[in-house]
Structures are given as structure tokens and as C-alpha cells.
Amino acid sequence: MDIDISGDLSGIRASQIQELKNLSEINTERSELIHEEILAELMRLTELWNREIAVYITRPGTLIAASVGRHATVALPPIKGRSQGKHLRCIHTHPNGEFRLSPLDLSALASLELESMASIGVRDGNFTGLQIAYRSGESDPFIVNLDSDHWKTFDYRDSLSNVSQGLSLTITKTASGKERAFLIALEDSDQGSNEDLTELRELARSAGVDVVGQLAQLRRYGQSRSYLGSGKLEELSHRLQETEANVVICDDELSTTQLRTLETETGVKVLDRTGLILDIFAQRAQSREGKLQVELAQLKHLLPYLTGQGQALSRLGGGVGSRGPGETKLELDRRRMRDRINQLEKELKLVLQHREVQRRQRTKSGLPTIALVGYTNAGKTTFMKAAMEQAGSQSDIPIGENKLFATLDPIVRSIRVNSSLEVLLSDTVGFIRKLPTQLLRAFLATLEEVQQADVLLHIVDASHPQAFQHAETVHEVLTQLKSNDKPTITLLNKVDLVMDEVDLNILAQQLPHPIQLSLKRGDSLKPVWKLMSSLVT
């Protein structure tokens, strides 16, 4: 049986292409995923050409089509004369030794309705591992990993039967457990402090993923097309295999070209800093307003990446970066997506109008408004809870988590400080460096609480090694909101954790109206209210 070979065949001898065609003469047994001789030849040619090779095998075991791709990707062979590929298995090689399926592989499994999709890692002509995904009746495919000791004894026919019956046995679902993230960043200094990656690690933890490795490069060596330089990109590919990471998270906002290049070169899902923050927001938003704001920000962030068949549309496996709008909205064309953005903006405009009515009612009460601002995870929610408890009010505010952006939806509470002072205290979303402009605009409804406040209470985590830089970031955001000239009290929180009193005193000298205390320790807030009384009266 002569088969067609598609794909990138440039530079390949006709005799070698014929060797690939000759594999169709070998029949795979029903219990086998792929015949051992076919696999050996695919690995040999993969090493020889340094290119991926994909083949289709029917359920009876006939190889009917093949395709050759570039080093890190291959276009699947067209399915001729078939309305669907539900009785076909696709098997392809990865010449860099990485055997895990990519988001594009899982996308093809679903869109082509294949029976299964398998990837085989090849390095120096040797087998490094094999991963198979099966379509199931559920949203996520079933996955099985096989090493060199077990793939030959693996019974493919039994595995199909198990999947059809909903049995897992040695098969685990892709959604089980946490995703394994590998972090990358460009740094301005060669001092090796990795401060950017430290915060990115905390963001990833807040998003619910396990960080298994990180890699940094000096910014001057970065590339506009691939973000990292070629050498670091090659190192990243090796590190991904070593750590078995299945998502790369970048500390900067990536361009369309950078995101696609990284996904193509690594074969795994790639998420930038903005996408990660938005994913956290999608998990945290509880109110209708918060959900509207998150969806609006996510759609505006995704719009530049949606060029019809971009890899950003192939994230069908769920996990970090896929919460929020969901699969159906990600598949909208540009026109429909813009329509949805316009609709969300109109709905948020109504929210702004509603908030304005509430704000006017509060203004009529004559109570001064105090807005809590600060870097994320500085202790704003803890302050509000402590303020209510010390004022004798019953607190309905949940205890803040030790995670970035633990609070997203704004909270406004009336607190009677003493017989002569009652205030409206407003908790807001935490600030963070590199806060995207579109995110700031999307959360204008929330941040207007800051713009309308009489006094700002800036809470700083004094124990953080970057406390002053965090304070500067908050000041920069306040400047964007045109609120940097408001009366401000600085609350230096967590002083019980500060190791150097000299550093604490220097920090206090650089910030307006500093008050040192520990909310966790339960220190009295009387110094805060005393200073606040002088500012609002």
C-alpha cells in the first residue's frame, strides 16, 4: 500500500522518503499501540532529519498516512475520505526527547475526533518516553505515561476498553493534581537576586500550580521574537524535560509573536504575567461586578492573540490561564469578541452608575471615607477585620489568606471608632508591579473607591525585603488614578517580623505619617484613629 507523505520534505532524499512510505507494509497488532519495527524506523528518521514525524494508524493496525514537520512541530496529515477520525490513532515523535503531549496535541485529539493521540520522545535516536491521550465522554482526555520498560507490554486494545467503560486503572486524567509550572524572566541586573522570579513564584502559588523550576536571563540578551535568547531557549527545553513541567509562565507581558514562538519551541502551554494575574482574579471574583471586570480584562488581553487558529485557542486541557471566559468564548471570532467587550463595558457602566448612587448616599451621611490601599498581601483585609473587632462591631469579613490577591471584590463597612468619630472603611484590590493598563481600566469601578476617598490608609508589609519598592509601586498606581495627592497615613505592618530596626526606621522616614504595629500580634489601632481624626476634622 503506497501512502502519501505530507509536510515539510525540503532537504530530504527521495530514498529516505520511500523508507517512510515502506512502513505502511508493516501491520500493527490490535493489542499494540504501534509495531516495534515501525517505531524503531520513526525514531531513526527523526534523529536523522531532526524533525517530528506523525503517522495515522487505523484500529486494525494499518498505517495510512504520514507527515514530516519542523524540529518542534508537525502538521498532521489530512484525513482523506473520512468525516471523522474516531477510529484512527495519531502517533508522532519529538526529536528533543520531550515525550509529553502539548496543548496543540490535545486540541487536535478533540477537533479531529481521533481515537487517541500519542507522542514519543526521541533523543540521540533513543526512546525517552511515551504519552497517550484518549478521548472520553468527559471534558478532559485520559492520559497514560509509559517508559521504555513498559511500553512494549502495554495492551492498547485493553486500554481502549477501559476508557470506554470509564475505568482509569493506570490511566490518570490531565486535570488531576496541580499543574507543574516552570518560570522564566528577563532581569535588569546580573546580581542574581531573582526578585522578579520570587514574586512570580508567589503569584503561581496563588494560582494553584506547583513551581518546579525557574530560569532567568539578562534583559539585554533577550530576543524580540522569542523573549529568551537562543541559548537560553535551548536550555529551557532541556529543563522542561528534566522537571516534567507542563506550563511555562513568563514574568513579562508577551507579544503575540513571543507567545507563539515559545509555545512552538517548548511544546507546552505558555502564560505571561498578565494572563497569570487574570487567572488569579478569575478564581477570586465572587460578585457579579467582579466577574464582569475579570471577563472584560481577559477578553481584552486575549484579543490580540486570536488570529483564527492561534495556539492560544488550543488550551482545551483546562488549568491555569484557562479560567474565566471559558472555551466557548475563546472560540469567538474577533467581531463577536468585540461585541462581547462592548456589552461588558455597558454593563460595567451601569455598575458605575449604581456605585455612584451608593456613594452619594454615603456622602449625605457626612461620614469620611477611608480607602485601604497597598501592595497585594500587605494586610489590608486583616486591618479591616481588626478595625471592626476593636470597634466592637461583629466582623463578617473572612480571614485573609496568605496569598496574593486574596481579596478582589471591594468591601465597604461603617466603623465607629469612638464617640466622636465614625468612618466608612473601604477595602480594595491589592496593587502589584507591572500592573497592565487595561487591567487598571477594567477595574475602574472598584478603584473609584480610592479616587473618592477622603483619606488613604496605605498598608505596607514592613518585613518584606522589597517593602520600599512595593510602596513606590502603590504610589505609581495612585498617580495613574490621580489620587497621589490625597492625605495618606502609612501603616507599617508586620513589624514583629522585621529583623533590622535600622532598616525599619529608614523606611519610616521615607513614607508619610508612618505608624508601626503588627496586626497579627493584635496591636491597638488607637494611634491610627488618633492621626486619622486630625486629618478628617
Q: Is the pLDDT of residue 212 over 80?
A: yes
Inter-axis angle of helices 14-21 and 36-49, nearest 10: 160
**Least confident span in 296-300, 371-375, 488-492:** 296-300
C-alpha cell at 212: 518546579
pTM comes to: 0.60
pLDDT band at 472 (very low <50, low <70, confident <90, very high): very high
Q: Is 386 in the same domain as 321?
A: no
Identify whether residues 9 and 33 lie together within a single domain. Answer: yes
- Shared domain check, 249 and 130: no
User: Could you tell me if 348 and 402 lie in one domain?
Assistant: no
Does 405 lie in the same domain as 301? no
pLDDT at position 144 is 83
Query: Cα 320 to the chain's mean position, in Å?
Result: 4
Does the structure show a pLDDT above 60 at 253?
Answer: yes
Type of residue at 35: H
CB 247 within 8 A of CB 225: no
pLDDT greater than 70 at residue 80: no
Whether residue 206 is predicted with pLDDT greater than 50 in this model: the reply is: yes
184 and 126 within one domain: no
The domain boundary, picked from 317, 340, 358, lies at: 358
- Residue 276 corresponds to which cell in the numbers above? 497569570
Helix axes 467-480, 501-510, angle to 10 degrees: 20
Co-location of 349 and 385 in the same domain = no
Report strand pairing: 172-173 vs 180-187: unpaired
Higher pLDDT, 241 or 278: 278
User: Distance between CA 262 and CA 230 in Å, rounded?
Assistant: 11
Beta bridge partners of 271: 249
Q: Categorise residue 500: left if φ over 0, alpha if ψ from -120 to 50, beta otherwise.
A: beta
Specify the pLDDT at position 308.
39
Q: Considering the chain, what is the average pLDDT of its residues?
A: 80
Note the pLDDT of residue 34.
93
In a shared domain, residues 409 and 476: yes
**Could you read off the pLDDT of 498-530 as tens digits, one per residue?**
888 888 888 999 999 999 999 988 899 999 999
Q: Residue 173 CA to chain centroid, in angstroms?
A: 20
Most confident of 409-413, 424-428, 522-526: 522-526
* Residue 81: alpha-carbon gap to chain centroid: 39
Q: Is the domain of 42 the same as that of 75?
A: yes
What confidence tier does 174 reach under pLDDT thresholds 50, 70, 90?
Answer: very low
Alpha carbon distance 117, 92 (integer Å): 8
Coil vs helix vs strand at 135: coil
Of the three residues 145, 173, 201, the one that is the final residue of a domain is: 173
Q: Does 14 share its domain with 44?
A: yes
Q: How many structural domains is the chain composed of?
A: 3
- pLDDT range class, residue 267, cuts 50, 70, 90: confident
220/464 Cα distance (integer angstroms): 28
Segment among 181-185, 219-223, 268-272 with least mean pLDDT? 268-272
Q: Which of 80-84, 259-263, 443-447, 525-529 has the lowest mean pLDDT?
A: 80-84
Q: What is the pLDDT of residue 328?
A: 47
Residue 276 has pLDDT above 70, yes or no: yes
Q: pLDDT value at position 317? A: 42
Residues 6+ away with beta carbon under 8 Å from 313: 107, 306, 330, 331
List, edge to edge, every strand of the sheet that includes 210-218: 210-218, 180-187, 247-250, 269-271
Mean pLDDT of 206-233: 90
Q: Is the pLDDT higher at 99 or at 36? A: 36
Amino acid making up residue 281: F
For 204-229, give the DSSP string. Answer: HHHHT-EEEEEEEEEGGG-BTTTBS-
Whether residues 211 and 279 fall in one domain? yes
CATH of the domain at 195: 3.40.50.11060
**pLDDT at residue number 82:** 47
Mean pLDDT over residues 14-19, rounded? Answer: 92
Q: How far apart are CA 480 and CA 389, in angstroms?
A: 33
Average pLDDT over residues 207-226: 90
- Grid look-up 481577559 returns 298
**Neighbouring C-beta atoms of residue 493, cutoff 10 Å:** 27
Classified as helix, coil or strand, 469 is helix
Q: Which of 140-149, 214-223, 310-319, 353-362 shows the highest mean pLDDT?
A: 214-223
Lowest mean pLDDT segment, chosen from 84-93, 132-141, 286-295: 132-141
Residue 423 has pLDDT above 80, yes or no: yes
Q: In which residue are the cell numbers 474577533 written?
A: 334
**What is the percent of the chain where pLDDT is above 90?**
26
* Phi, psi torsion values for 93, nearest 5 degrees: -100, 155
332 or 7: which leads in pLDDT: 7
Same domain, 144 and 183: no
* Residue 289 pLDDT > 80: no
Q: At what angle do helices 230-243 and 256-266 cross, to 10 degrees?
A: 50
How distant, in Å, are the alpha carbons of 72, 194, 451 from that of 232? Answer: 16, 16, 44
Over 80: is that where the pLDDT of 197 sits?
yes
Reported as half-sphere exposure (CB side, CA atoms, 13 A), residue 422 has a value of: 12
What band does 148 get if pLDDT is binned at 50, 70 and 90?
confident
Per-residue pLDDT at 215: 93
DSSP summary character for residue 100: S
Give the domain extent around 416. Answer: 365-536
Q: What percent of the chain has pLDDT over 70?
A: 81
| Final residue before a domain boundary, out of 306, 337, 358 | 358
Tell me how far apart the alpha carbons of residues 300 and 352 are, in angstroms, rounded to a whole number.
19
For residues 32-59, average pLDDT:
92
